Amino acid sequence: MPNDVFVVAEHLKNKLSDVTFEMLGKGREIADACGGKLVAVVLGSGTKDLAAQLGVADSVISVDDPALEHFSPEAYRIVLSSVVKDRQPKLTLIANTSMGMDLAAPLSAELNIPLVAYCKGLSADSGNVSVTSQLYAGKVDVESSITSAQAIISVLAGSFAGDAGRSERTPSIEEVRPSTSLNDLRVKFRRLVEPEPSDVDITKEEKLVSIGRGIQSQDNIALAEELAAALGGAISASRPIIDNGWLPKSRQVGKSGMSVKPKLYLTLGISGAPEHVEGMKDAATIIAVNTDPRAPIFDIADYAVVGDLFDIVPALTERIKGAKG
């Protein structure tokens, strides 16, 4: 319907991801402002329990089929595309996550509906929708207005409050069958690959010293390790450190790594790209060391040290050792 807001629920291993509730909370507000309904769309197999958690929505469209048991870029796109084509919602909110990236853009191209991605802000005023997108790794925002009858918006995780998207209410669920066959597709799910078990679980550590590309070389990691040891914490890292093979994947913080919530998160040479921030913004105390005074990490840090980590870290390690006696 012309004023409806659809939210595509995202789930993995039978658990809805937080961004689903964040989108539902925001979607509720937008649907009300536009005089439309909020509809959650769940694709999967045996997802009754999941659908039941979407009570903030006026209704849930559930496409339950064995072929949808695991996320598939192809099967999910085919089904979602036919749902959106059929129902013509004003807005379709899709998470700007790994899964969402395989849905939002292809849907936009296929259905010729405009897409506004990297959404971190969304508002509606007398039916006029305005979207704020986060660009340039968090350094610049762009606000745009939707000028067409329909749009797809891909929403960054952590942008909206999740509480507004949760409700005890039981939603009305409409079962929908896939309109085309999902056999003989070109993308086949094989298996989930779990991370290697690791010595340290960074999600359980109270103090993390987190290193980024500013550390420059694998040899320099010892500096950070010494600091972490003095503090009684562990080291974690941004993605490039892991991609370089300098630390195991289990130490990665961020969108495709771990989400951490330590008492102390001390960053050394991390710029604060949105994909990193997503995994650590809820740390209780954030101290950031970076040579660039404009680094986005300072926008979410509690304490900012504009300086060279190679000057600060040795001095700090020494002081901490001294303080502990």
Partner 1 sequence: MKILVPMKQVPDLVEELEIDSSGKRLNRDFLKFKLNEFDEHALEEALLLKEQHGGEVVVVTLDMAEADNLLFTAIAKGADKIFKIPGNCDEGIDCHSAAQMFATAAKSIGFDLILTGVQAADDRDGQVGMLLAAFLGLPHVSVVTGLSLEGASAIVHKEYAGGVMAEFEVVLPAVFGIQAARHTPRYAPVSKVRQAWKTSKIETVDGGTVPASNGSVVNRMFKPESGKRAELIEGSPDDVAGKIVDLLKSRGLL
Q: What's the farthest any 2 CA atoms get from each other in the chain?
A: 71
DSSP label of 149: S
Q: Which residues between 189 and 208 bind ligand FAD (CB under 6 A)?
A: none
Q: Which residues between 226 and 245 bind partner 1 (CB under 8 A)?
A: 231, 239, 243-245
CB 122 within 8 A of CB 156: no
The option from ligand FAD, partner 1, none interacting with 291 (CB < 5 to 8 A, set by class) reads ligand FAD
CB 155 within 8 A of CB 95: yes
For 236, the enclosing helix (H) or strand (E) is strand 234-237
- 269 contacts ligand FAD (rule: CB under 6 A): yes
- 301 contacts ligand FAD (rule: CB under 6 A): no
CB 269 within 8 A of CB 253: no
Spatial CA neighbour of 124 closest among 228, 260, 33: 33
Q: Which residues between 253 and 272 bind partner 1 (CB under 8 A)?
A: 255-259, 263-264, 271
Spatial CA neighbour of 179 closest among 256, 79, 262: 79
- 125 contacts partner 1 (rule: CB under 8 A): no
- 238 contacts ligand FAD (rule: CB under 6 A): yes
- 15 contacts partner 1 (rule: CB under 8 A): no
- 240 contacts ligand FAD (rule: CB under 6 A): yes
Tokens encoding 14: 């039978």
Q: Which residues between 188 and 217 bind partner 1 (CB under 8 A)?
A: 188-195, 207
**CA pair distance 195, 204, nearest whole angstrom:** 16
Size of the site for ligand FAD (CB under 6 A): 27
Cβ distance to ligand FAD smaller for residue 83 or 224: 224
Min separation Cβ 319 and ligand FAD, Å: 18
Q: Which residues between 39 and 68 bind partner 1 (CB under 8 A)?
A: none
Q: Which residues contact 75 (CB under 8 A, 6 or more apart)?
A: 67, 68, 182, 185, 187
**CA pair distance 204, 127, nearest whole angstrom:** 45
Would you give the binding string for ligand FAD spanning residues 37-76, x where CB under 6 A is met?
----------------------------------------
From 109-117, 147-155, 175-183, 235-243, give the range in contact with ligand FAD by CB under 6 A. 235-243
